[in-house]
Structure 1
């Protein structure tokens, strides 16, 4: 049975597609690509149908990650098929939990940086959209740092299902 993870930011053109690309690469490296489906969406639909921000694409390519992406808006009906919804900041976390049809669905929503033990108390991945390329690099560093912990948690769930 496939485990479904969806990363969510505001417009689905910067942070969440970056997290999707990084985490997909992590699942491939871990041999879990056939067991874990990774995608992303935005809390808003402003950029629906657009590709990722060119700065996101540039940073991902510079670090060897895939960049194929089409922005879309998160739909509350997806909670039925998703195992984990990863919010990129506390605003997204709150929005997604309000959108969740049930308390059980709300529990599926987690902050990405909560999987990074070095993150401290600031668990937001800042939105790089209004800044320069350095903000996108910083975003990638945060995403990569949290992805190992997230992968460990997902691996535990996937292996638990196989038992």
Structure 2
């Protein structure tokens, strides 16, 4: 059975699809594509059914990542489906932990930047939606920086699992 990771931001059109694409690439590079499944969602349903923000798509494609995505809202019943739920900022962390049906489910929720040993004191990946294109590039840098630590943690969790 695959180890399942879900990245969550607000509308599932900027940060979480970016994190999903980057982490999926890291999983594939590590040879764990059959062992680890990667998805994303939003805490709100404002953009359900839409593609990723065009600026997210542009920065992903410019950096060699896949950008195919359809936004969806995180449903609390999904806690049973995922081994790890990654929040992109502290607000998402609080929301997801409130949505969690059990304490065990709440323990599955982690902040993405907690996996980046070089992260500054601010635990959030800032929302680039209302800014310029450079905010999307900065977001990508933070996501990439945290992905190595996240991959290491997931690798430990999946040792011995077959594809």
Q: Same fold (TM over 0.5)?
A: yes
Q: Judge conservation of contact 2:35–2:161 (CA < 8 Å) in 1.
A: no
> Which runs of 4 or more aligned residues in structure 1 lie more than 3 Å from their structure 2 counterparts after TM superposition?
none
1:34 aligned residue: 34
Q: Report how far residue 160 of structure 1 moved.
A: 5.3
Q: What's 2:58 paired with? A: 58
- Any unmatched runs of 5+ in structure 1? none
Alpha-carbon distance, 1:53 to partner = 0.1
Does residue 1:144 correspond to 2:144, yes or no? yes
Structure 2 CA distance, aligned partners of 1:161 and 1:49?
33
State how far apart, in whole Å, the 1-side matches of 2:85 and 2:103 are.
14
Is 1:72 aligned to 2:60, yes or no?
A: no
Aligned length: 162
CA RMSD in angstroms comes to 0.8
SS in structure 1 of the partner of residue 33 of structure 2: coil
- Kindly provide the CA deviation profile for residues 3-33 of structure 1, in whole angstroms up to 9, marking residues without a partner as x: 0000000000000000000000000000000
CA distance in 2, matches of 1:61, 1:81: 29
Gap runs ≥5 in structure 2: none
Q: For residues 140 and 81 of structure 1, what CA distance do their matches in structure 2 show? A: 26
| Separation of aligned partners in 2, 1:160 and 1:110 | 23
